[in-house]
Structure 1
Amino acid sequence: MSDEETVRRVRAAQRGDTLAMAELLDELAPYVGRICGPIALDQGPDAAQEALVAVFRSLRSLKDPGALRGWARAIAVREAVRLARRAARAVPADLSTLPSRGDPELAADIRDVLDRLSPEHRAVLVLRDVEGLDERAAAELLGLRVGTVKSRLHRARDTFRKAWTS
């Protein structure tokens, strides 16, 4: 969908056009799901749903319709981290029990490693390595200092690398 079309749909949805809202939902749902899944893990679908509800509840407050995806991304990250914390996954698990590279469960290793990271570390990894944001943009989105994002990213990548290669 073109940027002009998105802007038109956002403005129509802000005026209460239900067809435009449905079209925006179709556009945003997969995007929000791709963000929430790796951060909230098992809570990913719930986080995506909560994020979409928050987006549509607050849609009238969006001043720049062209910023829809970035705005939705910020909401999705916030909801994913919130639900992951609620699921008591804030403390990283013991990484010594991961299967080795030759183990037949290798396909589940990435998910297993992500499951062992804190929601804050998963959020930084998703924003940098999946969404491609730089540290400054990730810091703004998460409401953190750039140094904090760099530190979390370093720790998250280091933990992921150690768990993956063990």
Structure 2
Amino acid sequence: MNTVTTGVRREPVRRQPSEEDPWAAAGLLVHAAQAGDALALNDLLNLLTPYVSRLCRPIALADSPDAVQESLIAVFQGLPKLKDPRALYAWVRTISVREAVRVARRAEHETPVCEFDDLPGSRGPELAADVRDVLRRMSSEHRAVLVLRELEGLDERSASQILNISCGTVKSRLHRARNSFRKAWAR
């Protein structure tokens, strides 16, 4: 929150979040939800659900609805402890990826990938189906590293913190995941 100095007294200046930046609304919703506003909590979860879904879908595959639900529950339970609302999306990303990996590991067998609404459709539905097929054959650990690096654009250090593994492990998993993807794609 910015402040404006007017003489001796400092008054907070509230900025209205623009419709173009829904993330700006998150900070206000976090504060209100932490203060016990149930409607703000509902609005915050509605705002976060598409983001959490986009992260969980390629990692947890057919079990992504469970991963999304587990992630949102963890966000709900941990929200009172979140100190800086500006860290909301990094915090939610960490929770979502970890929950998606946990849910995917718990699944007894690999299942087909759910629909990817986020994939660019410039080459048509065949490309999306091919990408889903290749991802379906990869391990959840490799999918998680690919999501963090390729979809989220994180560096190895950030990915290692989210996945709670060393940078070297992230690099080797990323290398193996990319090689696996290339080999499967070439077939």
Indicate the structure whose relative CO is greater, using CA pairs within 8 Å and at least 6 residues apart: 1
The residue aligned with 2:27 is 7
* SS of alignment partner, residue 102 of structure 2: helix
Alignment partners' CA distance in 1, 2:81 and 2:71: 15
**What is the CA–CA distance in structure 2 between the aligned matches of 1:31 and 1:37, rounded to whole Å?**
10
How do 1:2-151 and structure 2 match up within 5 A? 4-89=24-109, 107-151=128-172
Label 1:106 to 1:6 Cα distance change in 2 as closer, same or farther (>3 A): closer
CA-based RMSD of the aligned residues comes to 1.8
Structure number with higher helix proportion: 1
The whole-number CA distance in structure 1 between the counterparts of 2:72 and 2:140 is 19
Percent of residue pairs identical = 61
| One-letter code aligned to 2:172 | S
Cα deviations by residue, 1:64-119 (Å, 9 ceiling, x for unpaired):
111111101111001100110111348xxxxxxxxxxxxxx765221121111111
TM-score (norm 2): 0.77
Over 6 Å off, 4+ runs: none
Which residue type is aligned with residue 50 of structure 2? P
Change in 2 beyond 3 A, CA 1:3/1:46 = closer
Q: How many residues align?
A: 153
Describe the SS at the equivalent of 1:117: coil
Residue identity in the other structure for 1:133: L
Larger radius of gyration: 2
Q: Which runs of 5+ in 2 are unaligned?
A: 1-20, 111-125
Structure 1: gaps spanning 5 or more residues = 91-104
User: Structure 1-normalised TM-score?
Assistant: 0.86
